[in-house]
Amino acid sequence: MIQRSQDIKYLQGVGPARADLLSKELGIRTVGDLLTYYPYKYVDKTHIYKIREIDASMPYVQVMGQILSADVVGEGRGKRLVARLVDDTGVIELVWFQGIKYALKNYDFNVPYVVFGKPTVYGGRLNIAHPEIEKVDPSRPFDGESKNRYVPSYNTSEKMKRSGLNSGAMMKLTSKLFELFDSPFPETLNTYLVEHYHLISYDEAIRNIHFPQSAELLRKAQVRLKFEELFYVQLNILRYARDRMRKYRGIVFPKIGDAFNGFYHHHLPFELTGAQKRVLKEIRKDMGSGRQMNRLLQGDVGSGKTLVALMSALIAIDNHSQACIMAPTEILAEQHLQTLRQFLGDMPIRVELLTGNVKGKKRETILRDLKNGSVHILVGTHAVIEDNVVFMRLGLAVIDEQHRFGVAQRAKMWQKNNVPPHVLVMTATPIPRTLAMTLYGDLDVSVIDELPPGRKPIYTVHMFDNHRDNIYRKLRMELEQGRQVYIVYPLIQESEKMDLKNLEDGYVQVCRHFPDYKVGKVHGKMKPAEKDAEMQRFASGETQILVATTVIEVGVNVPNASVMVIENAERFGLSQLHQLRGRVGRGADQSYCILVTNYEIGTETRKRIQIMVDSTDGFEIAEADLRLRGPGDLEGTQQSGMAFDLKIANLASDGQILTLAREAATTILDNDPDERNPQNDILWRRLQELRRTNINWGAIS
Ligand code: ADP
Ligand code: MG
């Protein structure tokens, strides 16, 4: 009996050289790794085509017939064996460039064969090169019951293919493995889960995922393995959240006092939206519960999250605690500071800013006053989590625009106080439900699904770059009414030079076209101070057009800007386009978003642009983005470093299975909080094993 943990190089047919390739190219080191290297597709060999039905556009096909003739033709490199296969509907050629001798020796005339391969056209005739051929037992008519009806295809790299490790070789290795494992594979879920969710056994699943015996069993194997994979991801996250909850009792904020009430009754410049009220209630409940709040606040751009953050901070202040708001950039931190001070007006609440730019005496004073408690709210960049920033009593930490921060930073926040502060994570990148469950599965979620009243939806159009005159005409109309305009260029790291050139060219063109207006320019290569200064000039209206890369993406608020032009819109993700578009439409005027692309774009791109034109709902767009691009490419998921090396489940399409898996994990944890039920031992052991072998899983605690 071989073990899952056994080194792959001792497997027959592998050896040190191939083991090295498998490890370097695919990360396959052990027998277990090979077992979970699943096929990416299966070729259906269950259907037998009539020769007349075949054309060269078809993928792999299977036909049944007899060989009528076989001739070696051509010379030298063009030498080949051409056989003619017939059934009762027509003729197709079978061609061999190699292995001619073998074919001549092994295949007979006038015997029924099942032939499998990719049809092509050569010299006006249909043929299949290097077909797979299987003899049919004439006493038993072929009924599709050949050994491998669904043939697995495995992804391999070019390098592997050059060394003969192609999909077929991978199939052979895997098949060899199954021969060695002649007894059933041990179960990896407990009986309750298998029965309750009507799953097939692990053994049946793992065998059928590689070599499906039927379409039905393939489907069941996929469900079983996806469920299992997502179940352990959820069990890991939820168990971790529960442990943390036990370890850390939260600060209790029992009362609402002068700060909150005073603000609510005398300073709040408008009525809260229903969604804001609901979310504030959820936050109040958390902070009064005695356990530490860890809440994700999702709300589209402009939905009024800042105000929710401020009012939550006021609750902390009413309970003799301080609050801290962390933003991803200097500009945003500064803007938060101004916004908060403006909201608070003459209330006796002190808000200070701490960023890398705050230095010397000023910094010392702030640090001192944080320690003695006379600063109530600290706004800043990640400078606020540095070790020398010490609060008297930090009660609430707000992290804005979460996707720039990881779990590790969140954890650092908790350590800022004896009893860890309540944590509110705010994100304006709406996250599809399945992603949120997996990425932020340990957080409770609040959603602001309502914009403040009176907002005019941004009018979005798609224009081609050869209609630039029309675009400029529109811009001029807006500029003449005193509005401001953003023009954004993509910046993708691999070709930074070229991108910068695009931006520079665009800038020159715009300056030439609008000599009567002032044009600013911002990009990632500028020093932060320069960048800030340029942004400030635009914010104050000194410049009317801002040509920029995506550095302006997050949070910047210039209500007078009414047009967002996005150049090479095809190069942005949908969520990113949505974020950018959210920079306009912040004032009372009708705003516009112009998505500019080349005339020649693919249907996929056209679809994506159309989604932007049709919808202003961030959640809808995020779901579409996930469907179109898959989870790996979505913003925020790369940095998150967890759960995205899923081997079989797909967060874009397996939402239902994920919901079941989460429900299952919750049930297990609820019913066996002390992990004493022997029936669950198998689960904890497996989880331990997965955490040991999966680096990303280990990283969350
Ligand atoms: P975001 O959720 O993108 O951070 P902000 O907090 O910046 O949104 O709010 C966007 C704008 O809406 C701000 O100018 C803010 O003052 C305003 N706002 C917030 N809440 C309301 C409300 N209930 N009614 C009217 N305007 C509001
Ligand atoms: Mg904001």
Q: Does 587 lie in the same domain as 482?
A: yes
Total residue length of the chain: 701
Structure tokens at 691: 């955490």
Q: Does 357 lie in the same domain as 333?
A: yes
Final residue of a domain: which of 557, 581, 615?
A: 615
| Cβ of 631 below 6 Å from ligand 1 | no
The residue-averaged pLDDT of 303-313 equals: 95
CB 29 within 8 A of CB 22: yes
The total number of structural domains that make up the chain: 4
Tell me the pLDDT tens digit for each residue of 642-654: 445 688 988 878 8
Final residue of a domain: which of 596, 615, 634?
A: 615
Strand pairing category for 61-73 and 422-427 = unpaired
Final residue of a domain: which of 615, 641, 672?
A: 615
Q: Does 512 lie in the same domain as 473?
A: yes
pLDDT at residue 695 in the model = 54
| Cβ of 543 below 6 Å from ligand 1 | no
Relative to the CA of 454, which ligand 1 atom is closest?
25
pLDDT at residue 406 in the model = 55
CB 597 within 8 A of CB 568: yes
Query: What is the distance in A from the centroid of ligand 1 to the CA of 330?
Result: 20
Strand pairing category for 322-326 and 377-380 = parallel
pLDDT at residue 139 in the model = 62
What's the first-to-final CA gap in the chain, in angstroms? Answer: 35
Residue 225 in any domain: the answer is no
Residue 585 in any domain: the answer is yes
**Gyration radius of the chain's alpha carbons:** 32
Nearest-CA neighbor of 399 among 426, 381, 420, 380? 426
Cα torsion 152, 157, 160, 164: sign: positive
Q: At what angle do helices 202-210 and 167-180 cross, to 10 degrees?
A: 150
Nearest-CA neighbor of 690 among 343, 237, 311? 237
The Cα 398–Cα 306 span in angstroms is: 10
Residue 627 in any domain: the answer is no
Q: Which residues pair with 365 in a beta bridge?
A: none
Average confidence score pLDDT of the chain: 86
Query: What is the distance in A from the centroid of ligand 2 to the CA of 502?
Result: 29
The residue whose C-alpha atom lies closest to atom 13 belonging to ligand 1 is 304
Please enumerate in sequence order all residues whose Cβ is within 8 A of that of 170, keeping only pairs 6 or more positions apart, or say none: 37, 154, 156
Share of the chain above pLDDT 90, in %: 48
Residue 108 in any domain: the answer is yes
| Cβ of 307 below 6 Å from ligand 1 | yes
Query: What is the distance in A from the centroid of ligand 1 to the CA of 699?
Result: 36
Q: Does 305 lie in the same domain as 422?
A: yes
Residue 88: CB atoms within 10 A of its CB come to 8
| Cβ of 340 below 6 Å from ligand 1 | no
CATH number at residue 63: 2.40.50.140
Which pLDDT band holds residue 699 (cuts at 50, 70, 90)? very low
Residue 630: CB atoms within 10 A of its CB come to 15
Query: What is the distance in A from the centroid of ligand 1 to the CA of 547?
Result: 25
Q: Does 81 lie in the same domain as 40?
A: no
Structure tokens at 366: 């702030």
Q: Does 416 lie in the same domain as 360?
A: yes
The Cα 631–Cα 629 span in angstroms is: 7
Tell me the pLDDT tens digit for each residue of 179-237: 888 788 889 999 999 999 999 999 999 999 999 988 899 999 999 999 999 999 899 88
The residue whose C-alpha atom lies closest to atom 18 belonging to ligand 1 is 304
Query: What is the distance in A from the centroid of ligand 2 to the CA of 528?
Result: 20
Relative to the CA of 339, which ligand 1 atom is closest?
16
Query: Of 43-47, 197-201, 628-632, 641-645, where does the model show the most confidence?
Result: 197-201
pLDDT at residue 462 in the model = 96
Residue 506 in any domain: the answer is yes
| Cβ of 273 below 6 Å from ligand 1 | yes
Nearest listed ligand to the Cα of residue 578: 1
- Residue 425: in which H helix or E strand, if any? strand 422-427
CATH number at residue 386: 3.40.50.300
User: What residues make up the domain containing 326?
Assistant: 258-448
pLDDT at residue 553 in the model = 57
Residue 151 in any domain: the answer is no
Query: What is the distance in A from the centroid of ligand 1 to the CA of 633?
Result: 30
Phi first, then psi, for residue 197 (nearest 5°) are -100, 15
Q: Does 58 lie in the same domain as 36?
A: no
Tell me the pLDDT tens digit for each residue of 535-553: 889 999 999 999 998 776 5
Which pLDDT band holds residue 696 (cuts at 50, 70, 90)? low
SS (H, E, C) 606-622: HHHHHHHHHCCCHHHHH
Residue 660 in any domain: the answer is no
CB 484 within 8 A of CB 544: yes
Nearest listed ligand to the Cα of residue 579: 1
Relative to the CA of 306, which ligand 1 atom is closest?
6
Helix (H, G, I), strand (E, B) or coil at 51: helix
Q: Does 336 lie in the same domain as 482?
A: no
Q: Does 72 lie in the same domain as 99?
A: yes
Q: Does 51 lie in the same domain as 168?
A: no
| Cβ of 18 below 6 Å from ligand 1 | no
Residue 105 in any domain: the answer is yes
Nearest listed ligand to the Cα of residue 301: 1
| DSSP character at residue 265 | I
| Cβ of 301 below 6 Å from ligand 1 | yes
Tell me the pLDDT tens digit for each residue of 559-614: 899 999 999 999 888 888 888 898 898 877 899 999 999 888 888 889 899 999 99
The Cα 512–Cα 520 span in angstroms is: 13
Nearest listed ligand to the Cα of residue 271: 1
19: pLDDT strictly greater than 90: yes
Relative to the CA of 299, which ligand 1 atom is closest?
2
Q: Does 440 lie in the same domain as 362?
A: yes
Query: What is the distance in A from the centroid of ligand 1 to the CA of 96?
Result: 71
Helix (H, G, I), strand (E, B) or coil at 342: helix
Query: What is the distance in A from the centroid of ligand 2 to the CA of 625?
Result: 22
Query: What is the distance in A from the centroid of ligand 1 to the CA of 452?
Result: 7
Q: Does 375 lie in the same domain as 331?
A: yes
The Cα 204–Cα 221 span in angstroms is: 7
Structure tokens at 640: 């998150």
Please enumerate in sequence order all residues whose Cβ is within 8 A of that of 204, keeping only pairs 6 or more positions apart, or say none: 217, 220, 221, 224
The Cα 261–Cα 453 span in angstroms is: 23
CB 305 within 8 A of CB 554: no
Please enumerate in sequence order all residues whose Cβ is within 8 A of that of 454, keeping only pairs 6 or more positions apart, or say none: 588
The Cα 576–Cα 571 span in angstroms is: 10
Nearest-CA neighbor of 489 among 534, 521, 527, 516? 521
